[in-house]
Amino acid sequence: MSELLTAEGLHLHFGKVAALDDVALEIHPGEVVAIVGESGSGKTTLLRVLAGLMPPQQGQVLYAGEDVHAMGEAARRRLMRSDWGFVHQNPRDGLRLRVSAGGNVGERLMAAGARHYGNIRAEATEWLKRVEIDPARIDDMPLQFSGGMQQRLQIARTLVTRPKLVFMDEPTGGLDVSVQARLLDLIRALVADLGLAVLIVTHDIAAARLLAHRMLVMRRGQVVEQGLTDRVLDDPQHPYTQLLVSSVLAA
């Protein structure tokens, strides 16, 4: 199977701090890859570099054979609203809070050229159902939604154009545990349904185990260990991974 996204030799330093130090990875179609590590280990920076939001100082990112950072901004934006999706940690960053739920879901469709109100609305209704939001609330503002609903709305908005690759930055951060569990279930079902490739950044080892096929462990800008999720978590090789796995609290 050919890779969807490959990155090699990524370097990025903020002054003396190495946020990325010779990072390489690849993502195959339909694969869920988790990046775990402590705060400041460079996971979010890696995500931003891979998504083309931030240029690396060295190295390149290829999407379907094309250099993400060499293509023009127009092409990158087109990618962002068609083939890619980005789910922010804080739904407020990914949603328009003063635009109704239906408008939020419809925005990507309209940006992609949909010009039929009835169809856009039908599609938005369908997606609200899929993410377990009552379709009767289609005209409500996301401001009136709970945190968990906002996050689910953001996912609906991102997935409505059926992207091939979705970047998720701590999608369950800031939600309480029962809501997190439902959201993880939902993401897992949608990912399997749509055959999405997902790159998920998280510090929550349990979430990574539930969702990811493969896992990369980052520390100080370096990938210290990578492999199948179960292998990494059940048989950690690197001392830092061992520490990380043993620090997970058992309920």
Partner 1 sequence: MTEASIEAGYNFGYLDENTKRMIRRALLKAVAVPGYQVPFGSREMPLPYGWGTGGIQVTASIIGADDTLKVIDQGADDTTNAVSIRRFFNRVTGVATTEHTAAATIIQTRHRVPEAKLREGQVLVYQVPMPEPLFRLEPRVAETKRMHALADYGLMHVKLYEDIARHGAATTSYNYPVLVNQRYLMSPSPIPAFDNPKLDRMPALQLFGAGREKRIYAVPPWTEVKSLDFEDHPFQPARADAACVICGARDSYLDELIVDDSGKRHFVCSDTDYCASRPPVQDAAA
Tell me how far apart the alpha carbons of residues 41 and 29 are, in angstroms, rounded to a whole number: 26
- Binding part of the chain for partner 1, among 83-91, 94-102, 194-202, 206-214 by CB under 8 A, reads 94-102
- Nearer Cβ to partner 1 (4/156): 156
Interface with partner 1 by CB under 8 A: which range of 11-19, 27-35, 109-117, 125-133?
109-117
Instruction: Look at residue 91 and give its three-state secondary structure.
Output: helix
111 belongs to the binding site for partner 1 (CB under 8 A): yes
What stretch of H or E contains 86? strand 84-87
CA nearest to 123, candidates 105, 110, 107: 105
250: its two tokens: 């058992």
The H or E element spanning position 24 is strand 17-27
Beta pairing class for 32-36 and 58-63: unpaired
Tokens at 77, concatenated: 């934006």
Phi, psi of 186 (to 5 degrees): -65, -50
Between β-strands 66-67 and 58-63, what pairing exists: parallel, antiparallel or unpaired? antiparallel
> Which CB sits closer to partner 1, 77 or 129?
77
Find the part of the chain contacting partner 1 (CB under 8 A) among 15-23, 99-107, 189-197, 231-239: 99-107
Among 118, 246, 249, 251, binds partner 1 (CB under 8 A): 118
- Quick check: 108 binds partner 1 (CB under 8 A)? yes
Distance CA 193, CA 64 (A): 22
Residue with the two structure tokens 């890779």:
3
Q: Could you tell me which stretch among 112-120, 148-156, 183-191, 199-207 binds partner 1 (CB under 8 A)? A: 112-120
Rounded to a whole number of angstroms, the minimum distance from the CB of residue 91 to partner 1 is 17
Residue 65 CA to residue 32 CA, distance in Å, equals: 20
Please state the closest distance from residue 106 (CB atom) to partner 1, in A. 6
- Is residue 160 a contact point for partner 1 (CB under 8 A)? no
The residue within the footprint of partner 1, chosen from 1, 2, 65, 73 (CB under 8 A), is 73
Could you tell me which residues are beta bridge partners of residue 61?
Answer: 7
Using the minimum distance from each CB to partner 1, give the nearer residue, 60 or 100.
100
Contact between 74 and partner 1 by CB under 8 A: the answer reads: yes
Contact pattern from residue 139 through residue 158 relative to partner 1, giving x for each residue in contact according to CB under 8 A and a dash for the rest: x-------------------
Task: Give the CA radius of gyration of the chain.
Answer: 18
Interface with partner 1, residue 11, by CB under 8 A:
no
Distance CA 121, CA 185 (A): 26
Residue 119 carries which side chain, given as an amino acid letter?
Answer: N
Kindly state whether residue 13 participates in binding partner 1, applying the rule CB under 8 A: no
List 60, 82, 90, 100, residue binding partner 1 (CB under 8 A): 100
Site size with partner 1, rule: CB under 8 A: 23
> Site residues (CB under 8 A) for partner 1?
73-74, 77, 81, 96, 99-100, 102-103, 106-108, 110-112, 115-118, 120-121, 138-139
